[in-house]
Amino acid sequence: MPSLAADDGRETVATPNFVDQHQRIAKPDLTSRQRIRFMTSTDYPPFNFLDARGMLTGFNVDLAKAICEELGVLPKCQIEALPFADLVPALKRGDGEAIIAGLAMNATTRREFAFTQPYFRYPARFVARKDRPIEQPIGDHLSAKVVGVAEGSAHGAMLRAFFPAATVQTFPDRLQALAALRQGKIDAYFGDGVSLSFWLESDAAAQCCVFAGGPFLSDRFLGEGLSVAVQPSDPGLATAIDYAIAQLVAKGQMTELMLRYFPISAF
């Protein structure tokens, strides 16, 4: 079965904690470093994007600043935006010290870089109409339900693997599936919790629907989540970032970031 966090029936944002708080990492000393440049992109809202004034902002941007402040090196920290395709070559050239832009962890990138522990993972979520709620636990009440998914999606494969009792209806894309849900043509939709959290607040949703059950996590279908990539010769920086993120979680600052960028919790 997929990993399961608590069912989401709350108004406030649940804070995911993917960093082991029982680790004993000593506070690193980075005072000898001349520069710590985080590189990101501008086209991945709400994680990194340009705001209405053309200023670089987003969850990843604010997280990088918070990491630097926690490590006591804010004056030495820089954040530079590049096209996503240019990030890997730039890190290899030494133009920066870290990539914080959702670079996938896979066999190739693990050979090329060192990674921090994941600080964010993408949850899969069900959404259902408010007037047709699905009983909990949701996995036990899908046998008579039609669940929409985007054709060829990882979420469709995950739904079939973990919830075989559901009747799956595929759609060419998520927007058509969500329109069918809003119109009551299907009982639920299964997809990415992050994008769904914004859809639920959008005019397109027309306040029709809510999250039902979950969140559900799966490395096999959804990947390992978001991590910071650094040069393989600089594992100490990855450890320092892990330390800082653990402190931010413990102090509640990760919750503040989630509230800032996710009006409805994806978790």
Three-state SS string across the chain, please? CCEECCCCCCCCCCCCCCCCCCCCCCCCCCCCCCCEEEEECCEECCCEEECCCCCEECHHHHHHHHHHHHCCCHHHEEEEECCHHHHHHHHHHCCCCEECCCCCCCHHHHHHCEECCCCECCCEEEEEECCCCCCCCHHHCCCCCEEEEECCCHHHHHHHHHCCCCEEEEECCHHHHHHHHHCCCCCEEEEEHHHHHHHCCCCCCCCCEEEEEEEEECHHHHCCCECCEECCCCHHHHHHHHHHHHHHHHCCHHHHHHHHHCCCCCC
Residue 10 lies in a domain: no
Residues 113 and 236 in one domain: yes
Assess whether 198 and 241 both reside in one domain: no
pLDDT 10s digits, 185-241: 999 999 999 999 999 999 999 999 999 998 999 999 998 889 999 999 999 999 999
- Residue 259 banded pLDDT, cuts 50, 70, 90: confident
Instruction: Mean pLDDT check: name the lowest of 9-18, 91-100, 160-169.
Output: 9-18
Q: How many folded domains does the chain comprise?
A: 2
- Range of weakest confidence among 96-100, 105-109, 135-139: 105-109
How far apart CA 193 and CA 203 sit, in angstroms, is 18
pLDDT, tens digit, for every residue of 126-135?
A: 999 999 999 9
pLDDT (mean) for 171-175 = 96
- Position 189 scores a pLDDT of 98
pLDDT of 113 strictly over 70: yes
Dihedral pair phi/psi, residue 247, rounded to 5°? -65, -40
| pLDDT at 6 (0 to 100) | 36
Instruction: Clarify whether residues 38 and 114 are in a common domain.
Output: yes
Q: How many CB atoms lie within 10 A of CB 222?
A: 19
Question: Which pTM does this prediction carry?
Answer: 0.85
Instruction: State the Cα–Cα distance between residues 35 and 97, nearest whole angstrom.
Output: 8
Which domain, by its residues, includes 143? Answer: 124-222
Is residue 27 scored above 80 in pLDDT? yes
Residue 8 lies in a domain: no
Mean pLDDT, the chain, whole residue set: 90
Between CA 104 and CA 122 the distance in angstroms is 12
Domain-located, residue 59: yes
What's the CATH code of the domain at 149? 3.40.190.10
Same-domain check for residues 96 and 217: no
Residues 164 and 189 in one domain: yes
Residue 14: pLDDT band with limits 50, 70, 90: low
Give the separation between CA 18 and CA 249, rounded to whole angstroms. 9
